[in-house]
Amino acid sequence: MTSDSTGADATASTARPAGDVDPRFAALGSRPGKIVAVHLSYASRARQRGRRPSAPSYFFKPSSSIQASGGEIVRPPGTELLAFEGEIALVIGRDARFVALSDAWDHVAWVTAANDFGVYDLRTNDKGSNARSKGGDGFTPIGPALVDAGAIDPAALRLRTWVNGAIVQHDTSEGLLFPLALFVADLSQHFTLEAGDVILTGTPAGSSVVQPGDVVEVEVDAPTAPGHPSSGRLTTTVVEGTHAFDPSVGSLPAVDDTQRAEAWGSLEAAGLDPHGEDSAVPAVAPESADRGPTPGKAPGRSPAGGEAER
């Protein structure tokens, strides 16, 4: 599979024949056994959050959350804080158990784009695990093309995200707090990473709230590698849901101004007074000018995004 959203001779490869594979998993070739996601991993995001982890931490996402490029993500009724997170995804090609850091990248077959959507309104009771806030159907778009991990420098990947055509995230794997191979080595200490498993490697600063009707695109490429390999643009459209939560069988969405500030990226973006009682919420650190504007600044207090303890 090839993709050229940048104008360069971008090339990428497909892992295995799609055949009769569920269309949700077309980019991967098969359903992954597990999806492991990294919490806080970029220096820009750490500055935004006001904390810097000394080691990575993780959570799981169900494979039923995967969807292909061109799909829709449903914002659940009664929620306001649905947020995007553009990410570099690693696809394991060879089982990994107790692998050394120096050998870890050899177990990665493919690199591609992913969007780790989440609803902040649902994370209170599951904070950290993100089972409900990030596990919804369609909450992990991935693809559309796979880049051969052996053909690129893992420290020279570029990640970009657009909302309605405006660039909102622009960072590189050099901006990670931990090298990509470290996630493979670390996780392999605790359980076997099997061929086809996916690791979502975290998001940089710029994640924010999106509304029904917004279109989010994510691309991962290697601009310095021969042929300029690229995932192509992973496209997802936000739509409003119709199935309300049943209060008799579980907790309902809940938000406060701290959640709003974290979802939008800052108090100001959430339409909150930075000098008021919520001013203790960490503000976003200044980012590079080429990151572009934040999409749809909150009108007063009508947000719509969410994520994990990221």
CATH number of the domain to which 173 belongs: 3.90.850.10
Residue 209 belongs to a domain:
yes
Q: How, if at all, do strands 234-240 and 215-221 pair?
A: antiparallel
Question: How far apart, in Å, are the Cα atoms of 159 and each of 149, 254, 285?
Answer: 15, 31, 19
Question: How far apart, in Å, are the Cα atoms of 147 and each of 56, 185, 197, 251?
Answer: 24, 21, 15, 40
Residue 29 belongs to a domain:
yes
Residue 91 belongs to a domain:
yes
With 50 as the cut, is the pLDDT of residue 13 above it?
no
The rounded mean pLDDT for the chain is 86
Rounded CA-CA distance 278/258 in Å is: 7
Instruction: Supply the pLDDT for residue 19.
Output: 56
Q: Give pLDDT tens digits for 30-51.
A: 999 999 999 999 999 999 888 9
Q: How many structural domains is the chain composed of?
A: 1
Q: Give pLDDT tens digits for 227-283.
A: 999 999 999 999 999 999 999 999 899 999 999 999 999 899 999 988 775 444 443
Residue 259 belongs to a domain:
no
Residue 197 belongs to a domain:
yes
Task: Name the more confident of 278 and 108.
Answer: 108
Residue 1 belongs to a domain:
no
The secondary structure element, H or E, covering residue 249 is none
Task: Tell me which residue of 251, 37, 240, 245 sits closest to 142, measured CA to CA.
Answer: 37
CB-side neighbour CA atoms (13 Å) of 32 = 32
Residue 40 belongs to a domain:
yes
Question: What residue numbers bound the domain in which 282 lies?
Answer: 23-243+274-291
Rounded CA-CA distance 259/18 in Å is: 40
Residue 261 belongs to a domain:
no
